[in-house]
Amino acid sequence: MVLILKRKWWLLLVLGLGACQPQNPSDAREGGETSADDTPIVVNEDSVAMASDDILSIKSSRYQPSLGLQGTLEPINQIIYRAQRAAEVTQILVQPEQWVEKDTPLMVLQVKNSAQAEGSQTEAQRAPDGHSEAEIQEQAAESRSPLLADNMSESVAASQKTLLVRAPFAGRVDKLYVEEGASVPADAELLHIADSRTLKFVAAVPLQAKSQLSVGQTVSFSTEQRDEKFTGQISELVASHVPNQLLVAVHVIQKEGEVLPLQSGMAVTGRVNYGQIEVGTIVPERGIHDADLSALKSPPYQPLSPLTANVWIIKQDQRLMRQPVEVIEYDPDTKQYLVAGISNDSLICLADLPIASAGKKVVIS
């Protein structure tokens, strides 16, 4: 019944409005053919004349709302040791690229004097991490580099000046920043350990997306180096120091004993679905205005963040309205776009009209 009424309205618009404008013989085209290409758009004081080819009926399509996520893989467990006080590196017990187990001795430091030694030991007895997961995710997204932490334990040696650095978890000695015998100032980088068996990435999204996301949601992602899809899970949502930005931490999911072809440093792009199935409208490219659509013409054919645009629609009172929409995806087969924000009781105007056309009545010329 709705479809019958819609067709009736379309017929009335084409026949009724066309009858309002008698054809000027000078406007007649050879062979009696008309098209949107050779029919000029005429904007009058209260009306806009256009060809019937400039008007498109609504064609709907269902879609699953989703949000794009983009980041770089990095180890979940990683740490850079820094000297708490000025010290001398008296012994290095590991080599670059060496795998170490938790609590493995890594390095021996000797502070410059007793007062500094006492201060260092006090610092060493603090919690090894010192960072909340929220702070860790934000720092990782911001710097794209290993995070800073301190994990120095008191040596069993009698001297109060000697500190023994141990591994807080199993991992690989990714880099040594000092040599044995070197004197280092306070806050100097000593070594970096990372466990690349478990990976994550952190993506920045608009803050308004927070209501659509939650810890535990599944994320499907891929890399430029691999064709297959991988699975992750949102582990934390953190408000960034950047205004109106939310950081989304995603841990890579892998089965016990499974070795994925993923490495730290790989750029990844993924999507997370949310909400219920919704209905959008299919619109040709020439009907979408005020948006750069070029990024959608390559896989995955969806924007990473909400892409807003405008579409001219014709309301039931036959007047034009510039309707804000969100571009959902591009179909490379039909070369058309799916947009959200257009009601099914409207018609779409494909003509590129001046802003002043809003509110004017459509006339079929």
pLDDT tens series, the chain, 365 aa: 333 334 444 444 544 444 334 333 333 333 333 344 566 889 888 999 999 999 999 999 999 999 999 999 999 999 999 998 899 999 999 999 999 999 999 999 988 664 443 443 333 333 333 333 334 333 333 333 333 334 444 443 434 478 899 999 999 999 999 999 999 999 999 999 999 999 999 999 999 889 999 999 999 999 988 778 999 999 999 989 999 999 999 999 988 878 889 999 999 999 999 989 999 999 999 999 999 999 899 888 999 888 999 999 999 999 999 999 999 999 999 999 999 999 989 999 998 899 999 999 999 87
CB atoms near residue 15 (< 10 Å):
10
Cβ–Cβ < 8 Å for 323, 308: no
Cα 210 → chain centroid? 13
The CA–CA distances, whole Å, from 123 to 2, 156, 184, 347 equal 74, 16, 17, 70
**What is the token pair recorded at 162?**
């000697």
Query: Looking at residue 162, what is its pLDDT?
Result: 87
Q: Which residues are paired to 245 by β-bridges?
A: 206
How far are the Cα atoms of 5, 28, 76 from residue 264, in angstroms, in the given order? 58, 67, 10
Give the burial class of 71: count Cβ atoms within 10 A of its Cβ; 0-12 exposed, 13-18 middle, 19 or more buried: buried
Rounded to whole angstroms, how far apart are CA atoms 79 and 145? Answer: 10
**Calpha distance 112→47 (Å, rounded):** 86
> Given this model, what pLDDT does residue 279 score?
95
* Residue 351: other Cβ atoms inside 10 A: 20
The dihedrals phi and psi of 120, each to the nearest 5 degrees, come to: -65, -40
d(CA 116, CA 311): 68
Apex 145 CA angle, 224 and 77, nearest 5: 90
Separation between Cα atoms, residue 353 and residue 78, nearest integer Å: 56
The contacts of residue 221 (CB under 8 Å, 6+ apart) are 69, 201, 229, 230, 231, 232, 250, 268, 269, 270, 271
List residues bridging with 99 in a β-sheet: 172
| Domains recognised in the chain with CATH numbers | 2-64+277-364 (no CATH), 67-72+198-273 (2.40.30.170), 76-196 (2.40.50.100)
Amino acid at 175: K
Q: Where does 37-175 have alpha helices with state H? A: 114-124, 133-143
Alpha-carbon Rg for the chain, nearest whole angstrom, is 31
Residue 201's contacts (CB-CB under 8 Å, 6 or more residues apart) are: 69, 71, 72, 73, 74, 221, 232, 249, 250, 252, 268
* Per-residue three-class SS string for 290-301: CCCCHHHHCCCC
Q: Which residues of 264-281 are buried (b: 16+ CB within 10 A; e: fewer)?
A: bebebbbbbeeeeeeebb
Q: Supply angle C-alpha 85, 88, 90, rounded to 5.
A: 135
Query: At 352, which amino acid appears?
Result: D
Q: What would the two tokens of residue 79 be?
A: 């740490």
Cis before 75 (ω within 30) = no
**First vs last C-alpha separation in the chain:** 29
- The residues pairing with 289 across neighbouring beta strands, listed in sequence order, are 310
Output the 3-class SS for 42-69.
EECCCEEEECHHHEEECCEEEECCEEEE
pLDDT score, position 37: 52
